[in-house]
Chains A and B, each alone.
Chain A
Amino acid sequence: MTAAAPTRAPGWIRRNRDLVATPVIVVVGLAGVLVYTATRQLDSVERRALDPSYLWPRFLEQIWLTVASTVVVIVLALPLGIALSRPAAARIRAGTLAFGGFMQALPPYGVIILLAFLLGFGTMTAIIALVLASFLPVLTNTVVGLLQVDPALIEAARGMGMSGRQTLLKVEIPLAVPVMVAGIRVALVLNVGTATLATFIGAGGLGEPISSMLYLGRAQAVFATSAIVAALALIIDWLGGVAERLVSGRVG
């Protein structure tokens, strides 16, 4: 109690010190790659590919593909997962999750190109392909998160006179949120990586400089753009981790 004043304030920092690692690695790594690239002789093709006026729109496309597909997944998979977790759906639960696993197992590279032939090239098709690839983790985690809620809590809630809907909204979902958020985090990371494939059906993204420089044999530019994708993936994963920490801190 006596020495509380200076030590109490940074308590949450001490508890979450491990969260500092990722941003530090990303900043240091990116800076290293930039410095390394700046010291190399780049030809005009490479310089054009690494020019911010070209890279920035690709970067934004990458983020748009990731965010849009993840939002669609959340909008579809959360309600479906909640429905599947209800006792009435017990019979179709296993089958639906198995089908989700089947979709997840399809190689995204093949799916994205097949879909392009079915639905046409462009961003819309790319987002649909990303949704298929990242649907399962959100669906599974929603179902698992709700099913792992202690049945005694549900019995207590019903026994106290909560309706089924109140039990879901006030007890089950709040307790399942950390597991649901973990699933969304996995979906985000899957999507930010898979979105590099969108370039093959003309949907842009950071895959575009990577594949074109690879095609032209410019290893230096491939390396630099790949580093940006990796950094983006790490940061998105980190944001997901922070969100998870925030919600599970509340629920304990």
Chain B
Amino acid sequence: MSETVQSPIDSTHRSGQRPMIALEGVSKTYPKQSKPAVAELNLQVPEGAIVTLIGPSGCGKTTILKMMNRLIEPTTGRILLAGEDVTDVNGDQLRRRIGYVIQQVGLFPHLTIGDNIAVVPKMLGWDKRRVASRVDELLHLVGMEPDDFRDRYPRQLSGGQQQRVGVARGLAADPPVMLMDEPFGAIDPITRERLQDEFLEVQRQVAKTICFVTHDLSEAVKLGDRIAVFAARGRLAQYDTPSEVLAHPADDFVTEFVGSGAAVRRLSLLEINLLELEEIVISGAGAAGKDHPVLSVDGAGHPSAWQHLPGSEHLPPLVTVPLSGTVYDAVDVMLDGRAPVVVVVDDNGQPRGALHWEALVADLRTKGQPR
């Protein structure tokens, strides 16, 4: 049954995974409005993928998300969850099978953190001990010590902590699908970065199928295995991997929406460990050829200063970037340190190579395809 609903869009890219969520010809027309808010939408979300839904305000992306769990009933069309037509099943029962996280978090202020997480498992009739152990497991998963947080009230938590609990609550009954409506939208940029990283880490462990509405292109690019770009009236303008959307916008609308920053954003998709790095020589290690950069290191083997750079009169300050970072991070430290070259170090702080500003604006030699 999984092969029957492959869309043309889906088949052009890494397909083969069955769609976990499928919208077929879904439209929504609100009462007293002549034009539909969403018209004839077809969308497949592959199992285990994060799909970010993005578009200008009023494009219907939140409406689309809420039709997936039928908080908003579609006017026409079919909704399939793991191949099962759920267009007409009991909405409350359906929503207990789908995780839901919203921007305002919506933790119940009169319930403790533990009771908030336990809401859906209790509705599903889990026994007490199973609920309690699930609550502890989820608090661990989102990096919160159960003994410290289980019996606290939401108002005693910071915004970031509340959102972590929101994610834990969405995962409570281990639903295969999570719907997230700008969950990090109201959080300060620094905490948001961290929550996004933690969220990706959690997803690595739980491997849910996730639909994630955002209005922040950087967030869509960072989190999405695929991005669905919507134009007005829920028209799906492009549905593809982040690097494809940035490199080859499907039409003028996507080009304009992705904007002039697309080239820079693409840097954040390019991991340094995929690049051919320039070879560097450690000073005192003999054979100091003058055509390679020379670096001095301290006792632990960590880089300490430049000794020589080919074709450079004075030596720039030493800046480093981890091998696990992206080209975006490398550019960031170059600009920050006013250095045209950066040393790439591995997890142990050992130098692995150098990356030149000139190499970035020329052709980047990669060892493989960016993701």
State the A residues within 8 Å of B (CB): 150, 152-153, 155-163, 166, 171, 174-175, 250-252
- B37 CB to nearest A CB, Å: 18
Would you call B92 and A156 a contact (CB within 8 A)?
no
Q: Name the prevailing secondary structure of the A interface residues.
A: helix
CB-CB < 8 A to A163: which residues of B? 92
Chain B residue, CB-CB nearest to A174:
B110
Is B16 interfacial (CB 8 A cutoff)?
Answer: no
A156, A175, A251: residue with the most chain B Cβ atoms closer than 10 Å: A156
Q: Contacts A159-B102, A161-B123; is A251 near B92 (CB within 8 Å)?
A: no
From A153, A161, A174, A252, give the contact of B106 (CB < 8 A). A153
State the B residues within 8 Å of A (CB): 69, 71, 92-97, 100, 102-110, 119-120, 123, 153, 155, 169, 179
Q: CA of A156 to CA of B183 in the docked complex: distance in angstroms?
A: 12
Would you call A158 and B110 a contact (CB within 8 A)?
no
Q: Contacts A252-B153, A252-B155; is A159 near B100 (CB within 8 Å)?
A: yes
Q: CA of A250 to CA of B104 in the docked complex: distance in angstroms?
A: 22
Would you call A171 and B108 a contact (CB within 8 A)?
yes
List the 7 closest A-B pairs by CB distance, nearest first.
A156-B106, A161-B96, A152-B104, A159-B100, A161-B95, A152-B106, A251-B110
Would you call A251 and B109 a contact (CB within 8 A)?
yes
CB-CB < 8 A to B155: which residues of A? 252
Would you call B102 and A160 a contact (CB within 8 A)?
no
Q: CA of A229 to CA of B179 in the docked complex: distance in angstroms?
A: 60
Q: Contacts A153-B108, A250-B110, A251-B110; is A158 near B95 (CB within 8 Å)?
A: yes
Would you call A152 and B102 a contact (CB within 8 A)?
yes
- B197 CB to nearest A CB, Å: 24
- B66 CB to nearest A CB, Å: 8
CB-CB < 8 A to A156: which residues of B? 100, 102, 104-108
CB-CB < 8 A to A158: which residues of B? 71, 95
CB-CB < 8 A to A155: which residues of B? 71, 102, 106
- B258 CB to nearest A CB, Å: 30
Would you call A159 and B95 a contact (CB within 8 A)?
yes
CB-CB < 8 A to B123: which residues of A? 160-162, 166
CB-CB < 8 A to A161: which residues of B? 92-97, 120, 123
Would you call B71 and A160 a contact (CB within 8 A)?
no
Q: CA of A156 to CA of B105 in the docked complex: distance in angstroms?
A: 8
CB-CB < 8 A to A157: which residues of B? 106, 108
- B203 CB to nearest A CB, Å: 20
Q: CA of A174 to CA of B109 in the docked complex: distance in angstroms?
A: 10
B94, B95, B105: residue with the most chain A Cβ atoms closer than 10 Å: B95
Would you call B95 and A160 a contact (CB within 8 A)?
yes
Would you call B119 and A160 a contact (CB within 8 A)?
yes
- What are 11 inter-chain pairs, A to B, with CB distance below 8 A? A152-B106, A153-B109, A156-B102, A158-B71, A159-B102, A160-B100, A161-B94, A162-B119, A175-B108, A251-B109, A252-B153
Q: CA of A161 to CA of B89 in the docked complex: distance in angstroms?
A: 13
Q: CA of A161 to CA of B94 in the docked complex: distance in angstroms?
A: 7
- A171 CB to nearest B CB, Å: 6
- B148 CB to nearest A CB, Å: 16
Would you call A252 and B92 a contact (CB within 8 A)?
no
Would you call B96 and A160 a contact (CB within 8 A)?
yes
CB-CB < 8 A to A166: which residues of B? 123
15 A-B pairs besides A161-B93, A251-B110 with CB distance below 8 A are A153-B108, A155-B102, A156-B102, A156-B104, A157-B108, A159-B69, A159-B179, A160-B123, A160-B169, A161-B94, A171-B108, A175-B108, A251-B109, A252-B110, A252-B155
Q: CA of A150 to CA of B108 in the docked complex: distance in angstroms?
A: 10
Chain B residue, CB-CB nearest to A156:
B106
Q: CA of A156 to CA of B94 in the docked complex: distance in angstroms?
A: 14
Q: CA of A159 to CA of B180 in the docked complex: distance in angstroms?
A: 11
Would you call A162 and B104 a contact (CB within 8 A)?
no
Q: CA of A250 to CA of B155 in the docked complex: distance in angstroms?
A: 12
CB-CB < 8 A to A153: which residues of B? 106, 108-109
Q: CA of A252 to CA of B109 in the docked complex: distance in angstroms?
A: 7
- A151 CB to nearest B CB, Å: 9
